Structures are given as structure tokens and as C-alpha cells.
Amino acid sequence: MLGRLILLFLLTPAVELALLIQVDQVIGFWPTVGLIIITGIVGSHLARREGLSTWQRLNRRLQSGDLPGTELADGILILVAGALLITPGILTDVFGFLGLVPFSRAYLRRFVMRWFQRKMEQGTMQVQFGAFGGAAPGGPSSAGPSPGPSPAGQGSSAESPWRGQGQQVPDHAEEASDRSSPKASPS
């Protein structure tokens, strides 16, 4: 995976630079700069419009009690497409616009969903929780949190890999019944 990312981050700028040089030779320097600026402006407008439209559809689905799977996938595709469009380059702009146009986004969404499904069926999909190299639950460096909440100051870090302060969570069912039943006044 790391090798693919390194290849992506090395190969993409090289291809983009080669394409920009070719476009510069065909249409000139200032038109090339104008093209980069115009695609950025048009792309940000499209990303905003499509993002708001997807957000509204997502809210309607949630309010009707449905699961918004398509809308969530569209939202991720729009986010990635917007990021590609603000990156200067011809190739990233093409992929960015493909992710923002509803017709082509539907094909991309089907492709991505089939890819996820295939990975899940093969058992090769791995999801990690945590930022900046956090270990996956159940991984070699993590035994998971302890089953019960432990108040701050009790137990040692050797007993549980769970770090940080314990948090007392109120029992909402008891609070709700306390609010609904009238309290007896002391006599």
C-alpha cells in the first residue's frame, strides 16, 4: 500500500507537469495559466452545487427513515473530486470533473461500490481506527478497551491499554423516568 502511494505521489505530478508543458506549447503560457484558474473556479462552483444537492438529498433520506448509502458515497466522491479540481493540472481536472457530473459520478459510484464489495468478500479490506498510525482494534498492539468504565485514577496502564481519563456516562433511562415521575415533596 505504501509503495502504491509513493508511486502515486511521484507519478501524478510528473504526468501533470508533462501535460502542462504540452498544453503550454500548443496554446501558450498565459492561456494555460488561465485554463488552470478557470477550471479551479468552475470546479469549486460545481463542487459546492453538487455537495449542497447531495446534502439535501441525504437529509431527506434521513428524515424519511431510510439509509443514505448512495448519498454518502456521492458525498465522498464529490469531496475527492473537489480536491482534485483545486490541484493544478490537466489529468486531475479531468478526474475531478468526472466526479462532479452526476451522470459520470453514478458510474464511478458503482465501480467504487463493487470494488468495496469485492474487497469485503475476499476479506482483504482493512479498516483502521485512529489517526496518524493508530493501531487497528484487535491488532498486535491493541487489546481493545476494558469492558467496563474505569474511573480516573483507578487501575494502571499495565492492566489496560486504554489511555486517558475515565468518563462517567449518565444512565439516560433513569434520568428520563426521574423527569416523568413527579417527585414526592418531603413532609
- Give tens-digit pLDDT for 150-159: 444 444 444 4
Task: Give 128's pLDDT tier (boundaries 50, 70, 90).
Answer: low
Total Cβ atoms within 10 A of residue 81: 26
CB 47 within 8 A of CB 85: yes
Task: Give 127's pLDDT tier (boundaries 50, 70, 90).
Answer: low
How many Cα neighbours within 13 Å face the side chain of 13?
5
Q: Name every residue whose Cβ is closer than 8 Å to that of residue 73 and which is 6 or more positions away in sequence.
A: 109, 112, 113
Widest CA span of the chain, in angstroms?
94
Total Cβ atoms within 10 A of residue 46: 19
Total Cβ atoms within 10 A of residue 107: 11
Mean predicted lDDT score pLDDT of the chain? 76
State residue 133's pLDDT score: 55
More confident residue, 157 or 68: 68
**Domains of the chain: which residue ranges?**
9-122
CB 136 within 8 A of CB 126: yes
Query: For the segment 70-99, what is each residue's pLDDT rounded down to a tens digit?
Result: 888 899 999 999 988 888 888 999 999 999
